[in-house]
Structure 1
Protein backbone atom coordinates (compact mmCIF):
# COMPACT_ATOMS: atom_id res chain seq x y z
CA UNK A 1 0.00 0.00 0.00
CA UNK A 2 2.85 2.38 0.80
CA UNK A 3 4.43 1.82 -2.62
CA UNK A 4 1.11 2.31 -4.38
CA UNK A 5 0.48 5.44 -2.39
CA UNK A 6 3.90 6.87 -3.28
CA UNK A 7 3.36 6.06 -6.95
CA UNK A 8 0.01 7.84 -7.00
CA UNK A 9 1.49 10.87 -5.25
CA UNK A 10 4.35 11.00 -7.76
CA UNK A 11 1.97 10.81 -10.70
CA UNK A 12 -0.20 13.60 -9.30
CA UNK A 13 2.74 15.93 -8.76
CA UNK A 14 4.65 15.24 -11.97
CA UNK A 15 1.84 14.97 -14.53
CA UNK A 16 -0.11 18.05 -15.60
CA UNK A 17 -2.94 17.67 -18.06
CA UNK A 18 -4.36 21.21 -18.14
CA UNK A 19 -3.11 23.94 -20.45
CA UNK A 20 -0.26 26.18 -19.41
CA UNK A 21 -1.27 29.79 -18.57
CA UNK A 22 0.27 31.03 -21.81
CA UNK A 23 -1.51 28.42 -23.93
CA UNK A 24 -4.78 29.22 -22.19
CA UNK A 25 -4.46 32.84 -23.29
CA UNK A 26 -3.52 31.79 -26.81
CA UNK A 27 -6.53 29.47 -27.00
CA UNK A 28 -8.84 32.28 -25.89
CA UNK A 29 -7.30 34.52 -28.55
CA UNK A 30 -7.77 31.89 -31.26
CA UNK A 31 -11.40 31.33 -30.29
CA UNK A 32 -12.07 35.10 -30.39
CA UNK A 33 -10.53 35.38 -33.85
CA UNK A 34 -12.45 32.35 -35.11
CA UNK A 35 -15.76 33.63 -33.71
CA UNK A 36 -15.33 37.12 -35.17
CA UNK A 37 -14.27 35.73 -38.54
CA UNK A 38 -17.32 33.47 -38.75
CA UNK A 39 -19.93 35.84 -37.31
CA UNK A 40 -18.79 39.24 -38.60
CA UNK A 41 -16.46 39.01 -41.57
CA UNK A 42 -16.57 42.79 -42.12
CA UNK A 43 -15.41 43.52 -38.57
CA UNK A 44 -12.57 41.04 -38.95
CA UNK A 45 -11.56 42.68 -42.23
CA UNK A 46 -11.63 46.15 -40.64
CA UNK A 47 -9.48 45.00 -37.70
CA UNK A 48 -6.99 43.69 -40.27
CA UNK A 49 -7.03 47.05 -42.06
CA UNK A 50 -6.57 48.83 -38.74
CA UNK A 51 -3.41 46.79 -38.06
CA UNK A 52 -1.83 48.32 -41.16
CA UNK A 53 -3.21 51.75 -40.31
CA UNK A 54 -1.18 51.60 -37.09
CA UNK A 55 1.76 50.02 -38.91
CA UNK A 56 1.66 52.71 -41.60
CA UNK A 57 1.67 55.46 -38.98
CA UNK A 58 4.57 53.80 -37.18
CA UNK A 59 6.48 53.40 -40.44
CA UNK A 60 5.82 57.00 -41.42
CA UNK A 61 7.00 58.54 -38.16
CA UNK A 62 10.00 56.19 -38.08
CA UNK A 63 11.19 57.20 -41.54
CA UNK A 64 10.34 60.87 -40.93
CA UNK A 65 12.43 61.03 -37.76
CA UNK A 66 15.25 59.10 -39.42
CA UNK A 67 15.34 61.45 -42.43
CA UNK A 68 15.32 64.51 -40.19
CA UNK A 69 18.11 63.23 -37.95
CA UNK A 70 20.24 62.09 -40.89
CA UNK A 71 20.33 65.71 -42.03
CA UNK A 72 21.58 66.74 -38.58
CA UNK A 73 23.83 63.84 -37.54
CA UNK A 74 25.07 61.49 -40.23
CA UNK A 75 24.33 57.74 -39.65
CA UNK A 76 21.95 58.45 -36.75
CA UNK A 77 18.81 57.61 -38.70
CA UNK A 78 18.89 53.86 -38.20
CA UNK A 79 18.94 54.11 -34.40
CA UNK A 80 15.91 56.39 -34.28
CA UNK A 81 14.05 54.56 -37.04
CA UNK A 82 14.18 51.28 -35.11
CA UNK A 83 12.99 52.94 -31.89
CA UNK A 84 10.06 54.78 -33.46
CA UNK A 85 9.01 51.82 -35.59
CA UNK A 86 8.73 49.68 -32.46
CA UNK A 87 5.64 51.65 -31.40
CA UNK A 88 3.74 50.10 -34.32
CA UNK A 89 3.37 46.76 -32.54
CA UNK A 90 2.36 48.53 -29.33
CA UNK A 91 -0.54 50.20 -31.15
CA UNK A 92 -1.53 46.98 -32.93
CA UNK A 93 -1.58 44.78 -29.82
CA UNK A 94 -3.17 47.31 -27.46
CA UNK A 95 -5.91 48.20 -29.98
CA UNK A 96 -6.47 44.61 -31.13
CA UNK A 97 -5.50 44.94 -34.77
CA UNK A 98 -5.29 41.68 -36.70
CA UNK A 99 -1.69 41.33 -37.88
CA UNK A 100 -0.86 38.58 -40.37
CA UNK A 101 2.56 37.73 -38.96
CA UNK A 102 1.22 37.32 -35.41
CA UNK A 103 -1.63 35.19 -36.78
CA UNK A 104 0.93 32.86 -38.33
CA UNK A 105 1.72 31.83 -34.76
CA UNK A 106 -1.92 31.74 -33.63
CA UNK A 107 -3.25 29.78 -36.61
CA UNK A 108 -0.43 27.22 -36.54
CA UNK A 109 -1.14 26.56 -32.88
CA UNK A 110 -4.87 26.42 -33.70
CA UNK A 111 -4.30 23.63 -36.22
CA UNK A 112 -1.76 21.75 -34.08
CA UNK A 113 -4.11 21.76 -31.09
CA UNK A 114 -7.20 21.13 -33.27
CA UNK A 115 -8.96 24.27 -32.07
CA UNK A 116 -10.00 25.12 -35.62
CA UNK A 117 -9.80 23.19 -38.87
CA UNK A 118 -6.89 23.58 -41.28
CA UNK A 119 -9.22 25.17 -43.85
CA UNK A 120 -10.50 27.75 -41.35
CA UNK A 121 -7.00 28.59 -40.15
CA UNK A 122 -5.76 29.14 -43.72
CA UNK A 123 -8.83 31.25 -44.51
CA UNK A 124 -8.34 33.46 -41.45
CA UNK A 125 -4.65 33.91 -42.21
CA UNK A 126 -5.22 34.66 -45.91
CA UNK A 127 -7.99 37.20 -45.25
CA UNK A 128 -5.94 38.85 -42.52
CA UNK A 129 -2.89 39.29 -44.79
CA UNK A 130 -5.04 40.43 -47.71
CA UNK A 131 -6.73 43.18 -45.71
CA UNK A 132 -3.40 44.11 -44.12
CA UNK A 133 -2.34 44.83 -47.72
CA UNK A 134 -5.53 46.76 -48.48
CA UNK A 135 -5.09 48.87 -45.35
CA UNK A 136 -1.44 49.51 -46.19
CA UNK A 137 -2.16 50.67 -49.75
CA UNK A 138 -4.97 53.01 -48.70
CA UNK A 139 -2.99 54.49 -45.81
CA UNK A 140 0.16 54.86 -47.92
CA UNK A 141 -1.78 56.67 -50.64
CA UNK A 142 -3.26 59.13 -48.15
CA UNK A 143 0.08 59.62 -46.37
CA UNK A 144 1.76 60.35 -49.70
CA UNK A 145 -0.35 63.52 -49.82
CA UNK A 146 0.89 64.79 -46.46
CA UNK A 147 3.62 67.39 -46.10
CA UNK A 148 6.38 65.06 -44.99
CA UNK A 149 6.36 62.98 -48.16
CA UNK A 150 5.06 65.55 -50.65
CA UNK A 151 8.46 66.54 -52.06
CA UNK A 152 11.35 64.28 -51.10
CA UNK A 153 14.91 64.71 -52.29
CA UNK A 154 16.15 61.99 -54.62
CA UNK A 155 18.58 60.73 -51.95
CA UNK A 156 17.27 60.31 -48.40
CA UNK A 157 17.07 57.66 -45.69
CA UNK A 158 13.65 56.41 -46.86
CA UNK A 159 14.61 55.90 -50.50
CA UNK A 160 17.98 54.41 -49.54
CA UNK A 161 16.25 51.92 -47.23
CA UNK A 162 13.75 50.84 -49.88
CA UNK A 163 16.53 50.52 -52.47
CA UNK A 164 18.53 48.33 -50.08
CA UNK A 165 15.51 46.02 -49.63
CA UNK A 166 15.08 45.68 -53.38
CA UNK A 167 18.73 44.80 -53.95
CA UNK A 168 18.86 41.97 -51.40
CA UNK A 169 19.25 38.45 -52.84
CA UNK A 170 16.26 36.15 -52.35
CA UNK A 171 18.13 33.86 -49.96
CA UNK A 172 18.92 36.81 -47.68
CA UNK A 173 15.30 38.00 -47.72
CA UNK A 174 14.17 34.47 -46.80
CA UNK A 175 16.57 34.09 -43.85
CA UNK A 176 15.91 37.62 -42.59
CA UNK A 177 12.18 36.88 -42.87
CA UNK A 178 12.61 33.91 -40.54
CA UNK A 179 14.37 35.98 -37.89
CA UNK A 180 12.02 38.96 -38.28
CA UNK A 181 8.97 36.92 -37.31
CA UNK A 182 10.78 35.04 -34.59
CA UNK A 183 11.42 38.45 -33.02
CA UNK A 184 7.84 39.68 -33.55
CA UNK A 185 6.35 36.59 -31.96
CA UNK A 186 8.80 36.64 -29.08
CA UNK A 187 7.26 40.05 -28.33
CA UNK A 188 3.74 38.61 -28.71
CA UNK A 189 4.40 35.66 -26.39
CA UNK A 190 6.22 37.72 -23.79
CA UNK A 191 3.39 40.24 -23.87
CA UNK A 192 1.04 37.44 -22.81
CA UNK A 193 3.20 36.74 -19.75
CA UNK A 194 3.30 40.34 -18.50
CA UNK A 195 0.29 41.73 -16.66
CA UNK A 196 1.16 45.43 -16.38
CA UNK A 197 0.74 47.65 -19.44
CA UNK A 198 3.98 49.53 -18.81
CA UNK A 199 5.96 46.30 -18.77
CA UNK A 200 4.28 45.12 -21.98
CA UNK A 201 5.13 48.38 -23.75
CA UNK A 202 8.78 48.25 -22.72
CA UNK A 203 9.14 44.62 -23.75
CA UNK A 204 7.56 45.24 -27.16
CA UNK A 205 9.68 48.31 -27.88
CA UNK A 206 13.01 46.73 -27.01
CA UNK A 207 12.28 43.40 -28.71
CA UNK A 208 10.88 44.88 -31.94
CA UNK A 209 13.91 47.18 -31.97
CA UNK A 210 16.00 44.07 -32.69
CA UNK A 211 14.55 43.27 -36.10
CA UNK A 212 13.92 46.92 -37.04
CA UNK A 213 17.53 47.92 -36.37
CA UNK A 214 18.97 44.83 -38.05
CA UNK A 215 16.81 45.48 -41.12
CA UNK A 216 15.17 42.07 -41.21
CA UNK A 217 12.32 41.52 -43.67
CA UNK A 218 8.78 41.64 -42.29
CA UNK A 219 6.24 41.11 -45.05
CA UNK A 220 3.43 43.15 -43.47
CA UNK A 221 5.75 46.03 -42.55
CA UNK A 222 6.93 46.02 -46.18
CA UNK A 223 3.36 46.56 -47.40
CA UNK A 224 3.18 50.24 -46.33
CA UNK A 225 6.89 50.79 -47.04
CA UNK A 226 6.72 49.66 -50.67
CA UNK A 227 3.29 51.25 -51.20
CA UNK A 228 4.48 54.61 -49.91
CA UNK A 229 7.64 54.39 -52.01
CA UNK A 230 5.56 53.73 -55.13
CA UNK A 231 3.41 56.79 -54.47
CA UNK A 232 6.21 59.26 -53.63
CA UNK A 233 9.33 58.15 -55.52
CA UNK A 234 8.08 59.33 -58.94
CA UNK A 235 10.46 57.03 -60.80
CA UNK A 236 13.61 57.91 -58.86
CA UNK A 237 14.04 54.30 -57.70
CA UNK A 238 14.98 52.22 -60.73
CA UNK A 239 14.64 48.90 -58.89
CA UNK A 240 11.14 49.67 -57.59
CA UNK A 241 9.37 47.46 -60.13
CA UNK A 242 6.57 44.89 -59.61
CA UNK A 243 8.84 41.88 -60.13
CA UNK A 244 11.27 43.03 -57.43
CA UNK A 245 8.50 43.93 -55.00
CA UNK A 246 6.73 40.58 -55.49
CA UNK A 247 10.03 38.73 -55.08
CA UNK A 248 10.63 40.43 -51.74
CA UNK A 249 7.07 39.83 -50.56
CA UNK A 250 7.14 36.14 -51.53
CA UNK A 251 10.41 35.25 -49.82
CA UNK A 252 9.68 37.45 -46.79
CA UNK A 253 6.25 35.82 -46.43
CA UNK A 254 7.75 32.34 -46.66
CA UNK A 255 10.47 33.17 -44.15
CA UNK A 256 8.02 34.90 -41.83
CA UNK A 257 5.81 31.81 -41.72
CA UNK A 258 8.70 29.52 -40.89
CA UNK A 259 9.92 31.87 -38.16
CA UNK A 260 6.58 32.82 -36.64
CA UNK A 261 4.38 29.85 -37.56
CA UNK A 262 6.68 26.84 -37.35
CA UNK A 263 9.54 27.83 -35.05
CA UNK A 264 7.59 29.95 -32.55
CA UNK A 265 4.02 28.72 -33.07
CA UNK A 266 4.40 24.98 -33.59
CA UNK A 267 7.54 24.94 -31.45
CA UNK A 268 5.92 26.35 -28.33
CA UNK A 269 2.69 24.44 -28.90
CA UNK A 270 4.72 21.22 -29.02
CA UNK A 271 6.81 22.20 -25.99
CA UNK A 272 3.61 22.68 -24.01
CA UNK A 273 1.92 19.49 -25.21
CA UNK A 274 3.75 17.05 -22.95
CA UNK A 275 2.06 16.11 -19.70
CA UNK A 276 4.88 17.42 -17.52
CA UNK A 277 5.27 20.26 -15.11
CA UNK A 278 7.64 22.14 -17.44
CA UNK A 279 5.02 24.36 -19.06
CA UNK A 280 5.07 28.05 -19.96
Structure 2
Protein backbone atom coordinates (compact mmCIF):
# COMPACT_ATOMS: atom_id res chain seq x y z
CA UNK A 1 0.00 0.00 0.00
CA UNK A 2 1.44 3.43 -0.92
CA UNK A 3 2.92 5.37 1.98
CA UNK A 4 0.64 8.37 1.37
CA UNK A 5 -2.43 6.16 1.77
CA UNK A 6 -1.15 4.70 5.04
CA UNK A 7 -0.37 8.16 6.35
CA UNK A 8 -3.84 9.36 5.39
CA UNK A 9 -5.42 6.45 7.26
CA UNK A 10 -3.36 7.18 10.36
CA UNK A 11 -4.34 10.86 10.34
CA UNK A 12 -8.01 10.08 9.72
CA UNK A 13 -8.17 7.64 12.62
CA UNK A 14 -6.27 10.04 14.86
CA UNK A 15 -8.71 12.85 13.98
CA UNK A 16 -11.54 10.45 14.82
CA UNK A 17 -10.17 10.25 18.36
CA UNK A 18 -8.45 6.86 18.33
CA UNK A 19 -5.38 6.39 20.50
CA UNK A 20 -1.96 5.61 19.09
CA UNK A 21 -2.20 2.02 20.36
CA UNK A 22 -5.58 1.40 18.72
CA UNK A 23 -4.42 2.86 15.41
CA UNK A 24 -1.27 0.74 15.50
CA UNK A 25 -3.32 -2.39 16.17
CA UNK A 26 -5.92 -1.64 13.50
CA UNK A 27 -3.41 -0.81 10.76
CA UNK A 28 -0.78 -3.37 11.86
CA UNK A 29 1.86 -0.70 12.32
CA UNK A 30 4.43 -0.09 15.08
CA UNK A 31 3.19 2.45 17.61
CA UNK A 32 6.31 4.54 16.98
CA UNK A 33 5.39 4.78 13.29
CA UNK A 34 1.89 6.01 14.12
CA UNK A 35 3.32 8.69 16.42
CA UNK A 36 5.90 9.74 13.82
CA UNK A 37 3.29 10.07 11.05
CA UNK A 38 0.97 12.08 13.32
CA UNK A 39 3.73 14.46 14.36
CA UNK A 40 5.08 14.94 10.83
CA UNK A 41 1.88 15.37 8.84
CA UNK A 42 -0.78 16.76 11.20
CA UNK A 43 -1.86 20.20 10.02
CA UNK A 44 -0.28 19.78 6.58
CA UNK A 45 -2.24 19.83 3.34
CA UNK A 46 -0.44 16.78 2.00
CA UNK A 47 0.89 13.45 3.20
CA UNK A 48 3.72 13.46 0.67
CA UNK A 49 7.32 13.85 1.77
CA UNK A 50 8.71 17.36 1.69
CA UNK A 51 11.29 18.06 -1.02
CA UNK A 52 14.73 17.25 0.27
CA UNK A 53 17.54 19.80 0.08
CA UNK A 54 20.69 19.10 -1.87
CA UNK A 55 21.53 18.28 -5.43
CA UNK A 56 19.00 16.36 -7.56
CA UNK A 57 19.43 12.61 -7.67
CA UNK A 58 21.37 11.22 -10.62
CA UNK A 59 19.06 8.21 -10.59
CA UNK A 60 16.47 8.74 -13.32
CA UNK A 61 13.59 6.41 -14.06
CA UNK A 62 15.35 4.83 -17.03
CA UNK A 63 18.40 4.19 -14.82
CA UNK A 64 16.20 2.39 -12.32
CA UNK A 65 14.45 0.33 -14.97
CA UNK A 66 17.76 -0.62 -16.53
CA UNK A 67 19.26 -1.78 -13.23
CA UNK A 68 16.19 -3.81 -12.30
CA UNK A 69 16.22 -5.47 -15.71
CA UNK A 70 19.93 -6.30 -15.41
CA UNK A 71 19.43 -8.07 -12.10
CA UNK A 72 16.19 -9.88 -12.91
CA UNK A 73 17.55 -11.11 -16.26
CA UNK A 74 20.84 -12.25 -14.63
CA UNK A 75 22.81 -9.91 -16.87
CA UNK A 76 24.60 -8.46 -13.84
CA UNK A 77 25.32 -10.06 -10.46
CA UNK A 78 27.48 -7.46 -8.73
CA UNK A 79 27.75 -3.71 -8.29
CA UNK A 80 30.85 -3.44 -10.54
CA UNK A 81 29.01 -5.27 -13.33
CA UNK A 82 26.07 -2.88 -13.01
CA UNK A 83 28.45 0.07 -13.02
CA UNK A 84 30.14 -1.11 -16.21
CA UNK A 85 26.79 -1.31 -17.97
CA UNK A 86 25.52 2.00 -16.60
CA UNK A 87 28.65 3.83 -17.76
CA UNK A 88 27.50 3.19 -21.31
CA UNK A 89 24.60 5.52 -20.44
CA UNK A 90 26.55 8.01 -18.36
CA UNK A 91 30.32 8.23 -18.01
CA UNK A 92 29.90 9.72 -14.52
CA UNK A 93 27.94 6.75 -13.18
CA UNK A 94 29.57 5.18 -10.11
CA UNK A 95 28.06 2.39 -8.05
CA UNK A 96 31.04 0.21 -7.15
CA UNK A 97 31.36 1.60 -3.65
CA UNK A 98 27.66 1.84 -2.87
CA UNK A 99 26.37 -0.58 -0.29
CA UNK A 100 22.83 -0.15 -1.45
CA UNK A 101 20.84 1.61 -4.11
CA UNK A 102 17.44 2.72 -2.89
CA UNK A 103 14.79 3.98 -5.27
CA UNK A 104 12.02 6.30 -4.17
CA UNK A 105 9.09 4.04 -5.04
CA UNK A 106 7.93 0.56 -4.18
CA UNK A 107 10.15 -1.16 -6.76
CA UNK A 108 13.20 -0.38 -4.61
CA UNK A 109 16.21 -2.58 -5.24
CA UNK A 110 18.72 -3.14 -2.48
CA UNK A 111 22.39 -4.01 -2.57
CA UNK A 112 23.89 -4.77 0.84
CA UNK A 113 26.48 -6.87 2.57
CA UNK A 114 25.39 -9.91 4.53
CA UNK A 115 27.06 -11.03 7.76
CA UNK A 116 29.81 -12.82 5.88
CA UNK A 117 30.70 -9.90 3.66
CA UNK A 118 28.76 -11.19 0.66
CA UNK A 119 26.58 -9.02 -1.53
CA UNK A 120 22.85 -9.48 -2.03
CA UNK A 121 20.58 -8.03 -4.70
CA UNK A 122 16.85 -8.15 -4.15
CA UNK A 123 13.62 -6.30 -4.70
CA UNK A 124 11.76 -4.98 -1.67
CA UNK A 125 9.75 -7.81 -0.13
CA UNK A 126 11.53 -10.46 -2.20
CA UNK A 127 12.77 -13.52 -0.31
CA UNK A 128 16.37 -14.68 -0.70
CA UNK A 129 16.91 -17.02 -3.66
CA UNK A 130 19.93 -18.36 -5.51
CA UNK A 131 19.63 -15.37 -7.86
CA UNK A 132 19.94 -12.90 -5.01
CA UNK A 133 23.06 -14.14 -3.25
CA UNK A 134 26.62 -13.80 -4.49
CA UNK A 135 29.06 -16.22 -2.91
CA UNK A 136 32.21 -15.11 -1.13
CA UNK A 137 35.71 -16.52 -0.84
CA UNK A 138 38.33 -16.47 1.89
CA UNK A 139 41.02 -13.85 1.69
CA UNK A 140 44.44 -13.37 3.21
CA UNK A 141 45.38 -11.67 6.43
CA UNK A 142 46.35 -12.43 10.01
CA UNK A 143 44.23 -15.15 11.57
CA UNK A 144 44.35 -18.10 13.91
CA UNK A 145 42.72 -21.52 13.54
CA UNK A 146 40.99 -22.81 16.65
CA UNK A 147 39.20 -26.05 17.42
CA UNK A 148 36.31 -26.03 19.86
CA UNK A 149 32.86 -27.53 20.36
CA UNK A 150 29.63 -26.81 22.21
CA UNK A 151 27.18 -29.05 24.02
CA UNK A 152 24.10 -28.57 26.16
CA UNK A 153 26.52 -28.49 29.11
CA UNK A 154 28.51 -25.60 27.66
CA UNK A 155 31.77 -25.22 25.77
CA UNK A 156 34.46 -27.83 25.24
CA UNK A 157 38.14 -27.42 25.83
CA UNK A 158 39.74 -25.62 22.91
CA UNK A 159 43.11 -25.35 21.25
CA UNK A 160 44.93 -23.54 18.47
CA UNK A 161 45.60 -25.93 15.59
CA UNK A 162 48.13 -24.10 13.45
CA UNK A 163 47.81 -23.19 9.80
CA UNK A 164 46.53 -26.54 8.49
CA UNK A 165 43.90 -28.86 9.92
CA UNK A 166 44.64 -32.25 8.39
CA UNK A 167 43.60 -35.73 9.47
CA UNK A 168 46.57 -36.23 11.78
CA UNK A 169 45.98 -32.90 13.52
CA UNK A 170 42.26 -33.65 13.83
CA UNK A 171 42.93 -37.04 15.42
CA UNK A 172 45.27 -35.39 17.92
CA UNK A 173 42.63 -32.80 18.81
CA UNK A 174 39.94 -35.46 19.22
CA UNK A 175 42.18 -37.55 21.44
CA UNK A 176 43.12 -34.69 23.72
CA UNK A 177 40.44 -31.99 23.69
CA UNK A 178 37.26 -33.90 22.80
CA UNK A 179 37.80 -36.89 25.08
CA UNK A 180 38.75 -34.61 27.97
CA UNK A 181 35.61 -32.52 27.37
CA UNK A 182 33.40 -35.61 27.28
CA UNK A 183 34.80 -36.70 30.64
CA UNK A 184 33.90 -33.30 32.06
CA UNK A 185 30.41 -33.39 30.53
CA UNK A 186 29.96 -37.02 31.62
CA UNK A 187 27.44 -37.73 28.85
CA UNK A 188 29.29 -40.00 26.43
CA UNK A 189 26.44 -42.52 26.12
CA UNK A 190 23.94 -39.77 25.22
CA UNK A 191 26.12 -37.72 22.90
CA UNK A 192 25.79 -37.48 19.14
CA UNK A 193 28.81 -35.74 17.65
CA UNK A 194 28.26 -33.37 14.75
CA UNK A 195 30.88 -32.25 12.24
CA UNK A 196 30.79 -31.55 8.50
CA UNK A 197 32.24 -33.37 5.50
CA UNK A 198 35.65 -31.70 5.51
CA UNK A 199 38.30 -34.13 4.15
CA UNK A 200 40.02 -34.44 7.52
CA UNK A 201 36.69 -35.41 9.11
CA UNK A 202 36.00 -38.17 6.57
CA UNK A 203 39.29 -40.04 6.74
CA UNK A 204 38.94 -43.73 7.47
CA UNK A 205 41.20 -43.59 10.52
CA UNK A 206 39.08 -40.73 11.92
CA UNK A 207 35.88 -42.75 11.42
CA UNK A 208 37.63 -45.70 13.09
CA UNK A 209 38.59 -43.48 16.05
CA UNK A 210 34.95 -42.57 16.70
CA UNK A 211 33.95 -46.21 16.39
CA UNK A 212 36.67 -47.34 18.78
CA UNK A 213 35.67 -44.69 21.32
CA UNK A 214 31.96 -45.57 20.91
CA UNK A 215 30.96 -42.05 19.92
CA UNK A 216 27.96 -41.74 17.61
CA UNK A 217 28.54 -39.36 14.69
CA UNK A 218 25.64 -37.65 12.94
CA UNK A 219 25.38 -38.58 9.26
CA UNK A 220 25.92 -35.43 7.20
CA UNK A 221 24.84 -35.61 3.53
CA UNK A 222 27.08 -34.05 0.87
CA UNK A 223 26.23 -30.48 -0.17
CA UNK A 224 23.70 -30.18 2.64
CA UNK A 225 22.64 -26.82 4.12
CA UNK A 226 25.11 -25.64 6.76
CA UNK A 227 22.89 -25.80 9.84
CA UNK A 228 25.47 -26.65 12.48
CA UNK A 229 24.89 -24.16 15.34
CA UNK A 230 28.63 -24.08 15.99
CA UNK A 231 28.79 -21.65 13.04
CA UNK A 232 26.58 -19.23 14.98
CA UNK A 233 28.69 -19.77 18.09
CA UNK A 234 31.92 -18.91 16.25
CA UNK A 235 30.29 -15.86 14.72
CA UNK A 236 29.28 -14.60 18.17
CA UNK A 237 32.84 -15.07 19.40
CA UNK A 238 34.34 -13.31 16.37
CA UNK A 239 31.96 -10.36 16.72
CA UNK A 240 33.01 -9.97 20.36
CA UNK A 241 36.69 -10.30 19.52
CA UNK A 242 36.62 -7.59 16.89
CA UNK A 243 34.97 -5.08 19.16
CA UNK A 244 38.57 -4.62 20.24
CA UNK A 245 40.07 -2.59 17.40
CA UNK A 246 43.72 -2.74 18.42
CA UNK A 247 44.55 -6.35 17.55
CA UNK A 248 47.85 -6.15 15.72
CA UNK A 249 49.30 -9.66 15.96
CA UNK A 250 48.35 -13.32 16.10
CA UNK A 251 49.51 -13.45 19.70
CA UNK A 252 47.16 -10.60 20.61
CA UNK A 253 44.34 -12.28 18.70
CA UNK A 254 44.87 -15.57 20.53
CA UNK A 255 44.92 -13.76 23.86
CA UNK A 256 41.72 -11.94 22.96
CA UNK A 257 40.06 -15.21 21.91
CA UNK A 258 40.84 -16.86 25.23
CA UNK A 259 39.41 -13.87 27.06
CA UNK A 260 36.02 -13.91 25.30
CA UNK A 261 35.39 -17.60 24.42
CA UNK A 262 33.96 -18.60 27.78
CA UNK A 263 32.42 -15.17 28.37
CA UNK A 264 30.32 -15.31 25.19
CA UNK A 265 29.46 -19.02 24.99
CA UNK A 266 27.78 -19.55 28.33
CA UNK A 267 25.96 -22.85 29.00
CA UNK A 268 22.66 -21.00 28.47
CA UNK A 269 23.76 -19.71 25.05
CA UNK A 270 24.99 -23.17 24.05
CA UNK A 271 21.69 -24.77 25.06
CA UNK A 272 19.72 -22.16 23.12
CA UNK A 273 21.77 -22.77 19.98
CA UNK A 274 21.38 -26.54 20.20
CA UNK A 275 17.67 -26.28 21.00
CA UNK A 276 17.20 -24.30 17.79
CA UNK A 277 17.98 -27.34 15.62
CA UNK A 278 14.35 -28.44 15.09
CA UNK A 279 13.49 -24.90 13.96
CA UNK A 280 16.49 -24.81 11.62
CA UNK A 281 15.55 -28.12 10.03
CA UNK A 282 11.91 -27.12 9.61
CA UNK A 283 12.92 -23.80 8.05
CA UNK A 284 15.02 -25.60 5.43
CA UNK A 285 12.15 -27.99 4.71
CA UNK A 286 9.74 -25.08 4.32
CA UNK A 287 12.20 -23.34 1.97
CA UNK A 288 12.68 -26.53 -0.08
CA UNK A 289 16.39 -26.47 0.70
CA UNK A 290 16.76 -22.76 -0.01
CA UNK A 291 18.03 -19.91 2.11
CA UNK A 292 16.73 -19.37 5.63
CA UNK A 293 17.45 -16.82 8.34
CA UNK A 294 19.79 -19.34 9.95
Structure with more strand by fraction: 2
Give the TM-score range, shorter chain.
Answer: under 0.3
Greater relative CO, 1 or 2 (CA 8 Å, sep 6+): 1
TM-score normalised to structure 1 length: 0.26
Structure with more helix by fraction: 1
